Amino acid sequence: MKLRSYLRVIILFASILLSAKSFSQRYEIRIVNMIPRERSSDTAHDGEPNIAVNPANPQIIAASAFTFSSNRQWCDTFPCYRIPDSSFPRCKAPIYLSMDGGNNWELQELVPSNNGITHDITVAFSDTGYLYVTALKGCQYSPARGPNNFMKGFFILRSKAVVRLSEQIESLIRIDQRFGFVHDQPWIEAVTSIDTISGRPVFSDRVFVGVNKQQDALSSPARDTMYEGRTARVLISGNAEITPTLFNAVVIESITNNDKNPGAVRVAIHRSGKVYAIFLRSIPGVPRPTIASERCRVVVVRDDSFGQGLVKFDALGLNGQVVADNQTTTYHRLGDEGWLGRCRVGGSNLAIAADPNNDQHVFVGWCSLNAEGIYTLNFRQSWDGGLTWTNDHLPSIPNAMNPAIAMTSDGRVGLLYQQLVADLSGIRWWETHFTMKHWNLTGVLVPEGERGGEYVLSRFRDDELPERNSEAGRPPVGDYLDLVAVSNVFYGVFSAINTPNNILPGERRDRRFPIITPQYNRQQGNAGQLTDLDGNLIRSSVDPFFFKVERKRS
């Protein structure tokens, strides 16, 4: 027995040393402004970015943000049609594409849009190289109601063909749509599974869309009484590469909420077939602490067969597993509540990721008000498939929002978020933070050594953002950002004020992260000023930024 104990200690110590050695290498961080140079005169606020990297060729990257069409004169201005015509689409909105690993970006207008802008859009690549896109239809005009969101729905698109080389994506075809009902925040994820039929491999794109069908809220007169108060959904396709595609809408909430599930539904897929989803559940019968908040439980559900079984998302029990109870979350309300500095916060601040090496290891993040009423970001991890949760070495982060999580194949966990901090003079700054951590296979946190911990990617003053109620209440930075991992490389996107001084320059290097290389596509002026292509000064605004984290090549 003693010999076995000694062997365990030796194996554990050796694994820590090997892991520490592998992570002692230094890393290169590259940051790129995604606005193309020809759009240098742009002063819109392009918030809520999302990213997809093609596993078949990681040089091909797609991204999205709240970005207007270049042909806005052909479309109506934000938010909706101003004429009584509900035909769809009237024009198309753009997505961002890079064919050289994120160094250069272009905009391609591929997404149907009522008004020339993308609404709550997310993107995903399957392993076969298909690009999948989902987005809200956006506002529409009703002769009786005027411009409104009442009947907005969403659609799911797919590239016409696989994208493996540097060819352009010529078009997107619509493979599903859910119009005529109020939905919010569709979030798409994809993976390709391999089955053997008659001795031959068969590839199937498993595509999942987390969405909140707010039409079924108790306060909605048009709700389906079968699902009232249970609005968290996951749409599932087991073969999205086939046209037409059938998506099965699964209600993952089993308990009637006070009104509806607040905020977002996020999904994480593992190649083993396990699929995790996270959402918020308002606690029945518990009154709201304030008009702009709700008392909630953070809930995770799991499916073990890519959602193809007779009963879906029941692996953690009928009601799922509660990660955290009695959490006060804020709503997307305009006014004095639901704001952090000049940024809007709310129930979309959810994140989840599964470890590619261990389908039982899953990470989650969410935001809530702490006991002092401070908006706080929380992270947890589970080592047993979501049954139990720990916050080991994961302290809560005050005044932070927009979490994103990804895990590399060599065991690193990447955490991305934005935080409002104040300096000694009282000036408030928004910082975009990226953190790397590593737990070995036995669940022990590897000493950081030279591999680094936290790094600040951008920094700008809160008063550089527009006033809260400007631009029809659209949040300038948005309710989410994104982080993904392909092999051992992290790829991420965030939105920030776009002047050069706000992206930390190469001279400001951390000892543990010796290289950070800001690159810009759009025209930049001197002394932190922005100019158009003619050299005229323009006001700063919010741009989407791409970043990449990889080991420094020796």
Among residues 533, 531, 523, 534, the alpha carbon closest in space to that of 33 is found at: 523
Among residues 184, 189, 235, the alpha carbon closest in space to that of 213 is found at: 184
Contacts of 114 (CB under 8 A, 6+ apart): 76, 80, 81, 88, 89, 90, 137, 138, 139, 140
Note whether 284 and 261 are within 8 A (CB): no
- φ, ψ for residue 20, nearest 5 deg: -60, -40
Residue 361 corresponds to which amino acid?
Answer: H
Q: Which of 61-75, 236-250, 512-526 has the highest mean pLDDT?
A: 236-250
Q: How far apart are CA 166 and CA 311, in angstroms?
A: 41
Question: pLDDT per residue over 137-166, tens digit each?
Answer: 765 555 555 455 455 688 899 999 888 765
Q: How many C-beta neighbours within 10 Å does residue 365 have?
A: 27
Q: Is 471 helix (H, G, I), strand (E, B) or coil?
A: helix
Contacts of 549 (CB under 8 A, 6+ apart): 27, 28, 29, 414, 434, 436, 489, 490, 492
Among residues 7, 12, 27, the alpha carbon closest in space to that of 440 is found at: 12
Residue for token pair 């965030």: 494
Question: pLDDT per residue over 483-534, tens digit each?
Answer: 999 999 999 999 999 887 787 665 444 544 545 677 888 877 666 678 888 8
- Dig out the tokens for 173 from the structure: 């075809």
Q: In which element (H, E) is residue 542 found?
A: strand 542-551
Question: pLDDT per residue over 101-110, tens digit each?
Answer: 999 999 998 9
When the pLDDT of each residue in the chain is averaged and rounded to a whole number, the result is 83
DSSP 149: S
The residues with which 538 forms a beta bridge, in sequence order, are 530
- CA 99 to the chain's CA centroid: 21
**Residue 535 backbone class (left: φ over 0; alpha: ψ -120 to 50; beta: rest):** left
Q: How far apart are CA 94 and CA 98, in angstroms?
A: 13
Q: How far apart are CA 209 and CA 154, in angstroms?
A: 11
The structural domains of the chain, with segments of one domain joined by +, span 2-551
Among residues 295, 274, 276, the alpha carbon closest in space to that of 284 is found at: 295
Sorting pLDDT into bands at 50, 70 and 90, what band is 452? low
Of 360 and 75, the one with more pLDDT: 360
Q: What is the 3-class SS of 410-454, one letter each residue?
A: CCEEEEEEEEEEECCCCCEEEEEEEEEEEECCCCCECCCCCCCCE
Sorting pLDDT into bands at 50, 70 and 90, what band is 390? very high
What's the pLDDT at 488? Answer: 93
| Residue 240 pLDDT > 90 | yes
Mean pLDDT, residues 114-124 taken together: 84
Q: Is the dihedral of CA 264, 463, 482, 498 positive or negative?
A: positive
Contacts of 223 (CB under 8 A, 6+ apart): 215, 216, 217
Q: Please give the C-alpha separations between residue 274 and each of 25, 277, 511, 552, in angstroms, as whole numbers.
A: 32, 10, 39, 33
Residue for token pair 């323009």: 538
Q: How far apart are CA 126 and CA 177, in angstroms?
A: 20
- Dig out the tokens for 92 from the structure: 């198309």
Of 391 and 196, the one with more pLDDT: 391
What's the pLDDT at 140? Answer: 55
- φ, ψ for residue 358, nearest 5 deg: -155, 105
Q: How many C-beta neighbours within 10 Å does residue 36 have?
A: 17
Q: Which of 67-71, 91-95, 130-134, 341-345 has the highest mean pLDDT?
A: 130-134
Q: How far apart are CA 288 and CA 6, in angstroms?
A: 55
Note whether 247 and 237 are within 8 A (CB): yes
Q: How far apart are CA 403 and CA 365, in angstroms?
A: 6
Q: How far apart are CA 42 and CA 53, in angstroms?
A: 26
Question: pLDDT per residue over 246-299, tens digit each?
Answer: 899 999 999 999 899 998 999 999 999 999 999 999 998 777 777 678 899 999
Mean pLDDT, residues 383-409 taken together: 95
Q: What burial class does residue 115 get, using C-beta atoms within 10 Å of its C-beta: 0-12 exposed, 13-18 middle, 19+ buried?
A: buried
Sorting pLDDT into bands at 50, 70 and 90, what band is 540? confident
Count Cα neighbours of 435 within 13 Å in the Cβ-side half-sphere: 19
Q: What is the 3-class SS of 269-331, one letter each residue?
A: ECCCCCEEEEEEEECCCCCCCCCCEEEEEEEEEEECCCCCCCCCCCCCCCCCEEEEEEEEEEC
Q: What is the DSSP string of 153-178?
A: -EEEEEESS---SS-----EEEEEEE
